[in-house]
Amino acid sequence: MIKNDIWITEMAQKGMISPFESKQIRNIEGLPAISYGLSSFGYDIRLSPVEFLIFKHIPGTVVDPKHFNPENLEPTKLHRDNNGTYFILPAHSYGLGVALEKLEIPDNITVICIGKSTYARCGIIANITPAEAAWRGYLTLELSNASSADCRIYASEGIVQLMFLEGEPCDISYETRRGKYQDQLEKVTPARI
C-alpha cells in the first residue's frame, strides 16, 4: 500500500525525513521555487547545494561499475542569480547530486523515487534507485539531461518525489544484510561493488 501524508508526517516526527516540511513549499524568500515538502501521497526532497558531479568525456575511457574511477566525474560550480542557486547540467550529459534530506526508512517500507514533472518537461530524467527497507542516509541522485540544451538544476529546491510503499516486514532488511550504500553522507557516493 502507498502511504499518505498523515503517515508520512507521523513517521517524519520519528526521524524518517530530516529536515521535514509539512506542506508543499513553492517559494523561497519571495521567489518562485520548484516545490518540495509533503504532498498527498509522497514527499518531494531537495537537491543539496553541497556537491554536483558530471561525467566528463575522457577519450578511450570506459566507465566500469566494478572498478569505478572517480576521475570520470568532475565537480560543477554552484551558480547564483535572482532565480536562486543552481548547477548547470550540460545537454546530453549525466550528473550525480545528493539529497538535502536525510532518510531513515522503516523496515517494512521501500521508497521509490520519481522525477518531478517540472524537470521532466525540460528533458531531465531522474534515475534514482529505491531506498530499501531499513536504509539510512542521504540519497545519491542520478540525473540525465536528454535534451539538446543545457539545463539549470536548482539546489535547495525540489528534485524528486519519494513514494513510500508498505509491505509485510522482510526477513533481511538493507541494514541487516549490511548494504553497501548504508549511511551515505551528504556527498555523492559513486558506484561500489
Residues marked active site are found at 142
C-alpha cell at 142: 542520478
Q: In what order do the strands lie in the sheet with 151-154?
A: 79-81, 84-89, 151-154
C-alpha cell at 191: 558506484
Please report the sign of the dihedral spanned by the C-alpha atoms of residue 64, residue 69, residue 71, residue 76. positive
Residues contacting residue 13 through CB under 8 Å, at least 6 positions apart:
20
Distance CA 164, CA 141 (A): 17
Distance CA 38, CA 25 (A): 9
Distance CA 111, CA 45 (A): 12
